[in-house]
Amino acid sequence: QKEVEQNSGPLSVPEGAIASLNCTYSDRGSQSFFWYRQYSGKSPELIMFIYSNGDKEDGRFTAQLNKASQYVSLLIRDSQPSDSATYLCTLSGGYNKLIFGAGTRLAVHP
Amino acid sequence: GAVVSQHPSRVICKSGTSVKIECRSLDFQATTMFWYRQFPKQSLMLMATSNEGSKATYEQGVEKDKFLINHASLTLSTLTVTSAHPEDSSFYICSAPGQGMVGETQYFGPGTRLLVL
């Protein structure tokens, strides 16, 4: 069974700093990885997806994938208080299914 | 972008009653929709895959007779929690995959918060 492991946090960073969120996954055959952001009481929203080894940048967000180490990360530069949320590391379980990690709670303080 | 709606957004019911939650894709067709459940401080757990024109596929441990799923049309899936009990209180979220994309984009509904007294 495919599993995704994340540190539940909270990860506390000062405003303007870089927040680093990490996760590992169990199935070496996994191909597609996603980072979702979920505000309290709301449904998830997609931040980034990554399929290939290496880095993928989109604005203040950088996703990193290392398939050999089965490791995925998300860097948030210039963190803002509005980035405070739970970040869900997610992988594709096939047939359009998504498998979510437990989430890391990020708190950005002014 | 594509929009998925859910109704109701919040429901409170008495133990033993049944509750129906609707999930609609507003501007696209969805032959498949997914139902998730999320308990406080936990992640989303996939309950079932709703398939238009055929039976839903349930994840291991999810009672199909308790959580009835009907995919009535290409834009509507319903989840009925039958004989609800307090332990069924949770946040129920549906999603639909973007057309032409395998696993790349899932459009999530805003969720339905169920409280069973």
Q: Kindly indicate the confidence band of residue B11, based on its pLDDT and cuts at 50, 70 and 90.
A: very high
Q: Do B97 and A96 touch (CB under 8 A)?
A: yes
Check residue B103 and give its pLDDT.
47
Q: Report the pLDDT averaged over residues B43-62.
A: 92
Tell me the two tokens of residue A41: 């009481």
pLDDT of A84 above 90: yes
- Cα–Cα distances (Å) from B92 to A50, A59, B2, B36, in that order, read 27, 31, 19, 6
Closest CA–CA distance from residue A11 to any residue of chain B (Å): 15
Range with lowest mean pLDDT among A45-54, A90-99, B83-92, B98-107: B98-107
Check residue B99 and give its pLDDT.
64
Check residue B100 and give its pLDDT.
54
Q: 3-state SS of A39-82?
A: CCCCCCEEEEEECCCEEEEECCEEEEEECCCCEEEEEECCCCHH
Check residue A55 and give its pLDDT.
96
Q: What percent of chain B has pLDDT over 90?
A: 78
Under 8 Å between Cβ of B9 and B112? yes
Closest CA–CA distance from residue B16 to any residue of chain A (Å): 25
3-state secondary structure of A83: helix
Best of A40, A45, A97, A105 to mutate (most B CBs within 10 Å, chain B)? A97
Q: 3-state SS of chain B?
A: CCCEEEECCEEEECCCCCEEEEEEECCCCCCEEEEEEECCCCCCEEEEEEECCCCCEECCCCCCCCEEEEEEECCEEEEEECCCCHHHCEEEEEEEECCCCCCCCEEECCCEEEEEC
Q: Report the pLDDT averaged over residues A67-81.
A: 97
